DNA sequence: ACGGCGGCTGAACGGGTGTTTAGTCGAGTC
DNA sequence: GACTCGACTAAACACCCGTTCAGCCGCCGT
């Protein structure tokens, strides 16, 4: 069945339109708007996916799979340090990225699973760094990985807030630009912190360790 | 009926009910539910506030004022290091706290203004620390303050995500518990990072400074 | 004692939502 | 050619939303 000119399955068109709309407007976006984007009736969305929730689940799954694929590709041939340079290429993943940010902001279980993946990755990178002698060991490697991911997540959210206040481009709008702007503002303080720490001596840490044997 | 037992102005009751509902369910919560909580008709909500958006603005303002008051009180008589112990008292601010988290997740301008305040505070604390010799100076004090606030914001959001995945108590549910649990899991990695940094040498930072004169 | 007024309400309005229903169309099967 | 089946749709449905309307009722100034 070769039907119309460029007719990828309407199912996929619907899913992609949903991902784009959800990413741009959040999960309150209406089915009819999504259907319009996909040049399809609202009823067909239900016909294919059963319900809006199920549609969202399908979007979650597809986004998750896309990210996993992109991540394993990126891991194959790049050192983590220069991945930043590669980030401009992310523009092609714009909708997926925006969707992920919305998902984070929404606070659903899908987002929890996503950050779990990030933490896992960070933990293994850090472990590799420790083994190579470039990263200090930690008493709580998992907690440290979580802290670093929290930094990134928080930076992302704060950039989104800046965008709401008209001070920056929104990650959900133009992910590529937002990411590089974010990086520019974040890298120097981050590197400072990560190489020298914040305090001039270890008295705070010592005091804490005193109380938690 | 000559006014009910404890009849604070219905206006306030409506505002407080709205703050609680918004905090628990997000800003999608319906006017009728809020009105029910305040033992009042939905029409009265509009009568007093004009519109749902205006009601939310009133909530924003009240929460903002409450936080400012609490913050200036906390600043008066506590050293920032032991404020953590004081945090259990926060239980009384539970609804305000939950509202703030929702506001953050919602991504509105009110939240942007709120984190601006946090960054400002952090920056002045850090400056004081630098002056006192306990905190290292930075090439970008504002950026560093933002990075630290981003850490906190990210940690908050990640705790909310854990709650959605059933692994923790939600900051929007029982703020007191959530905060101490968060602190327990976060303090050690944070202190490690802040006293020793992450890297064993300054090569990453040096490389960056090389390229950004 | 009375008029007005503001807090307050139940009911309705208009619009948007996700979903259901009944049905059309086109292609593949016997 | 008759039949089936799945993609697809327009219209309707039931519901929830924020908001409006008309009017009730107790308080207050006069």
User: Which structural domain, as residue segments, surrounds residue B68?
Assistant: 61-211
Residue A82 has pLDDT above 60, yes or no: no
The whole-number pLDDT of residue A5 equals: 39
Closest-CA residue to B112 (of A174, A158, A186, A153): A158
Q: Please indicate, yes or no, if residue B1 is contained in any of the structural domains.
A: no
What's the mean pLDDT in B191-211? Answer: 93
Phi-psi group of A177: left, alpha or beta (phi > 0 → left; psi -120 to 50 → alpha; rest → beta): alpha
List the single range of A66-70, B2-6, B161-165 with lowest mean pLDDT.
Answer: B2-6
* CATH code of B113's domain: 1.10.357.10
What's the mean pLDDT in A157-174? Answer: 90
Separation of alpha carbons A153 and A158, rounded Å: 9
Q: Please indicate, yes or no, if residue B128 is contained in any of the structural domains.
A: yes
Q: How confident is the model at residue A4 (pLDDT cuts 50, 70, 90)?
A: very low
Give me the DSSP letters along B152-209: HHHHHHHHHHHHHTTSS--TTT-HHHHHHHHHHHHHHHHHHHHHH-SBSSSHHHHHHH
* Contacts with A, B 41-70, CB within 8 Å: none
3-state SS class at A202: coil
Q: Please indicate, yes or no, if residue A34 is contained in any of the structural domains.
A: no
* Exposed / middle / buried, residue B89 (Cβ in 10 Å: 0-12, 13-18, 19+): exposed
Chain A with chain B: Cβ pairs closer than 8 A: 209
Quote the DSSP letter at residue B104: H
Distance of CA A28 to the CA centre of its chain: 20
Cβ within 8 Å, pair A193-B197? yes
Total count of domains within chain A: 1
Residue A81 has pLDDT above 60, yes or no: no
Q: Please indicate, yes or no, if residue B120 is contained in any of the structural domains.
A: yes
* Contacts with A, B 106-145, CB within 8 Å: 106-109, 111-113, 115, 133-136, 138-140, 143-144
Q: Please indicate, yes or no, if residue A38 is contained in any of the structural domains.
A: no
Q: What is the pLDDT of residues B126-184, one digit of tens each?
A: 999 999 999 999 999 999 999 999 999 999 999 999 998 888 888 888 877 888 888 88
Separation of alpha carbons A70 and A93, rounded Å: 9
Separation of alpha carbons A36 and B196, rounded Å: 55
List the single range of A33-37, B17-21, B205-209 with lowest mean pLDDT.
Answer: B205-209
Q: What is the pLDDT of residues B33-71, one digit of tens each?
A: 999 999 999 999 999 999 999 999 999 999 999 988 888
What's the mean pLDDT in B2-31? Answer: 84
A44 touches strand D (CB under 7 A): yes
Q: How far is CA B174 from CA A92, B95, B203, in A?
A: 40, 9, 44
Q: Please indicate, yes or no, if residue A80 is contained in any of the structural domains.
A: yes
The whole-number pLDDT of residue B1 equals: 39
Do the Cβ atoms of B95 and B23 come closer than 8 Å?
Answer: yes
Cβ within 8 Å, pair A157-B158? no
Q: Please indicate, yes or no, if residue A132 is contained in any of the structural domains.
A: yes
pTM metric for this prediction: 0.89
Closest-CA residue to A124 (of A142, A109, A138, A111): A142
| E-strand stretches of chain A | none
The whole-number pLDDT of residue A87 equals: 56
Q: Please indicate, yes or no, if residue A186 is contained in any of the structural domains.
A: yes
Chain position carrying tokens 């709650």: B163
């Amino acid at each position: 069945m070769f039907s119309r000119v460029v007719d990828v399955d309407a199912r996929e068109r619907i899913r992609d339109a949903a991902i784009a709309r959800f990413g741009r407007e959040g999960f309150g976006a209406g089915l009819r708007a999504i259907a319009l984007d996909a040049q399809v009736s609202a009823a067909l969305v239900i016909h294919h996916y059963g319900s809006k929730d199920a549609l969202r689940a399908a979007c979650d799954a597809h986004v998750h799979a896309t990210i996993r694929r992109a991540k394993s590709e990126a891991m194959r041939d790049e050192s983590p340090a220069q991945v930043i340079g590669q980030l401009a290429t992310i523009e092609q993943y714009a909708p997926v990225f925006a969707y992920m940010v919305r998902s984070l902001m929404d606070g659903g279980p899908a987002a929890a699973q996503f950050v779990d993946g990030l933490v896992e990755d960070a933990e293994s990178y850090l472990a590799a760094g420790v083994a190579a002698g470039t990263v200090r060991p930690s008493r709580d490697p998992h907690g440290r990985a979580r802290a670093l991911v929290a930094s990134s997540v928080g930076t992302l959210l704060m950039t989104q807030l800046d965008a709401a206040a008209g001070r920056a481009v929104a990650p959900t709008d133009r992910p590529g630009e937002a990411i590089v702007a974010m990086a520019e503002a974040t890298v120097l303080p981050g590197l400072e912190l990560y190489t020298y720490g914040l305090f001039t001596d270890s008295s705070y840490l010592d005091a804490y360790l005193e109380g938690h044997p």
